[in-house]
Amino acid sequence: MGEGVRVRMSGNELAIVIDCNEPPYCPPDWEVVEHKPLGLISPSAITLYRSPNVVTRRVGERWLQQRRRCIFGAELCTELEGHPQLNACFIDFYLDNPELAPQEWGELSVFGTGTRFRHPGGGIYVACLRRRFNGAGLQREFRWIGHAFLETDPVALVNGVN
């Protein structure tokens, strides 16, 4: 197993946990502007949240606009206030340990909105874990918080954390 793996006793068994107190990976010249530590999280405590408030909008570049069901990042952030949002540590964990990544996530882009990054140009971004369409593995991507989040873009939340 790779970095970031922590093991703890759960009854008489060992359990793998994600250390969500660690500082997350941050690209060169970027800055972490918000990081909510959550302690040690069991991967089984992660749930995927999809906004019930998506609407059909025109999204994309002017030359390639499509009508898609989405919610804009600012609206999504307001909707998520008070929910236990997983931070970017889960992305680091699964990139270091791809064999542990949930297969049921398929090719979803799963966002960790509990960590916010500032791009060198000034924009605020959140990170996501994405499985490549060609099955070539996992990757980390960043999305500007003002961008549209599609109805198929879930946010990772944690059960049992307030």
Can you tell me whether residue 40 is helix, strand or coil? Answer: strand
pLDDT, residue 59, reads 58
Under 8 Å between Cβ of 127 and 56: no
* Residue 62 confidence (pLDDT) above 90: no
Range with the poorest average pLDDT among 55-64, 89-98, 108-117: 55-64
Under 8 Å between Cβ of 137 and 22: no
Structural domains of the chain, count: 1
The parent domain of residue 25 ranges over 5-158
**pTM > 0.85: yes or no:** no
- pLDDT, tens digit, 9 for 90 and up, residues 126-159: 999 988 766 668 999 999 998 888 888 899 999 8
Under 8 Å between Cβ of 70 and 154: no
Q: What average pLDDT score do residues 80-98 get?
A: 93
94 φ/ψ angles, rounded to the nearest 5 degrees: -75, -30
Range with the poorest average pLDDT among 16-30, 84-98, 100-114, 147-161: 147-161
Cα–Cα distance, 130 to 95 (Å, whole number): 10
Higher pLDDT: 70 or 10? It is 70
Range with the poorest average pLDDT among 21-30, 96-105, 112-121: 96-105
Task: Give the DSSP letter of residue 85.
Answer: B
- pLDDT, tens digit, 9 for 90 and up, residues 25-43: 999 999 999 999 999 999 9
Cα–Cα distance, 70 to 34 (Å, whole number): 24
Higher pLDDT: 58 or 8? It is 58
Beta 66-72 vs 148-150: how paired, if at all?
antiparallel
Cα–Cα distance, 2 to 137 (Å, whole number): 15
